[in-house]
Every structure is written in structure tokens, then in C-alpha cells.
Amino acid sequence: MKKLILDLDTGVDDCLALAYALGSPEVEVIGVTGTFGNVQRDTGIQNSLSLLDLFGHHNIPVFAGASHAFQRSTFTVQEASALIHGRNGLGDVHIPQSNRQPEPESACDFLIKSAKEYGENLVIVATGPMTNLAQALEKDPGFHNRCQIVIMGGALTIPGNCNPVQEANISQDPEAADALFRSGAKVTMIGLDVTLQTLLTYEETAAWREIGTPAANYVADITDSYIRAYGTIAPYLGGCGLHDPLAVAIAIDPSLASFFETNLKVDLEEPFRGRTIGDEHRLNDPNKTVKVALEVNAELFLKEFMHRISTLLRSCTI
């Protein structure tokens, strides 16, 4: 059985990614690492702890990671993030708060230790900025060879969602993402190219409410806030993008997507800062380190998404 670590900046779609992973019998979630992004790091960590308790997984540890980007000393939540995810990261829905605390071990050290212990049987799915991964790469030069890494971030064939070239997770710490792509690590990139093809509507959240458990109602309320936000920022889509859950789904079942293999970099200078694009210096290198998802079986994914999360929500008794 694959071991899974989720590296989250726990907003709405991170909540759904966590639920998808916990509802997947093929994997064991061995920990959650927290970072900044959709919310401040500590808010995201509290969200992760509370969601794990809500979903009946009190035993899964949470580790505090980076609170800001490599080249910054502070972090401020962007207004766009607050609009999409709410001020609390969960659509301003207030779920029961966990009494648990994050582990004393840092996210970076937990990632390094787990990669050494589990090797290629470990999959790290990062759905926020890549800062925790970059810290692990910097501290342990062998980290990039030990485990599988799947990220939700970037855009290769379509515009970004921050500006014409920037995707949100990459934009939060372009240096960290660039370090990851250049490290030689085998990375699967699940970007906007495919995540905006996977959409959820009020029809699906209504089905969760029919389950009747408190957890199902909370998740339906949280997700409805996300759908409403998408109705404001991207009404042409007709639903909300399932960015982070798709990354988890493809980490579990790569056959859901088809991939373009290449070597990537992140532009670090204006006017294209934050752009994910092919590295011209490694264009002819036969060793391609990044697999970019460009097509997705959206129908099958949505079926699996609803089945796995609905099964989890039915099992929640609090």
C-alpha cells in the first residue's frame, strides 16, 4: 500500500483533497504537513487538525512547515484567496475545532525522514506553495531521489489564474517551485491544464446533504461557498475547479490522465515571473524529470471523487 503525505495550505479544495485521500483504500495517509498560501500557515494547520477530527482520523499527525516564501520574511493572504476560500480558509464555515496540536517535529524533517523510511512507496502530494519541498531538498541532497512527488500547480498550455502566466501556488513562491523543477526530482505536475476540466456543481453538494451526517453537511456548506466564488470569478466554467483533489486522485491512479514529459523551470524575473515553462537549457536532455498532465478523464474522476468522499462522509459519526 502506498504511503501518502499531503502538503497543504488548507483551504476549500485542500479540504476536498484530504477527504479524497482518506476515502481511498489504496493509500495510507501517514501525515499532513502545513504551509502558507490560501491562509496563514497556522490557520491552515488548525483547519487540517479539525478536518481530520471531523473525518474520524484523530491519529494522523500534522506538522508545521514554512510560514512564508524563501525570499520573504512575512506572508499576507491575498484578497483573491480570501474571496475564494473565505477568511478562515473553509468558506467561513465554522467546523468543530480540534484540541490537538501540531507535532514538535518540523514538516521539513518529517518529509526527509519519511522519504528515507518508505522510499518510492511514499508519495508526497503538494497542493500549496512548494516551500516545504524546497526546504527538504536544501537540507537533504538525496531527498529528490527517494520518493514520488505530485504537485498541484502551474499551467503549461493555458493562462494562469493570477495573471496571464502565473498560477496561484507557483506565484506564492516561484523560487521554491523552480528549485524543485531543477533538482532532478521526478515530479508530476497537475496544473490548470487539467484541473479546470474537472468541475463540481450544486448538484453534487446536494447529494452530500442527503447523506445526513454533520460532516457531510459541513463539507457541502464549505464547497457551496467555493462554487459561489467561482460564479463570481469564472462564471463561464459552470462550477468550481477541483484542483487539489485531482492531484490526489492522479497520485493514486495515474491512468486518469495523460502526460507530456519534459524539463521545466519557473521564470523568476518580470514580466513573466511565476511562469512554468520548458527549460531551454535542458531541452535535449534525454532525462525528462517532469510529467505534465495535459488530458484528464474528467467523467471517471468525478465518479471516483463522489464515491470516495461520499463513502467517507457516511462513515463520520460526529
Give the active site residues. Answer: 9, 243
**DSSP states along 130-181:** SHHHHHHHHH-TTGGGTSEEEEE---SSS--SSSSSB-HHHHH-HHHHHHHH
| End-to-end CA, the chain | 28
Separation of alpha carbons 126 and 23, rounded Å: 18
* SS3 state of residue 199: strand
Q: b vs e for 259-290, b when ≥16 Cβ sit within 10 Å of the residue's Cβ?
A: bbebbbbbbeeeeeebbbbebeebeeeeeebb
CA distances to 109, 161, 163, 290, 304 from 293, rounded to whole Å, are: 29, 17, 21, 10, 18
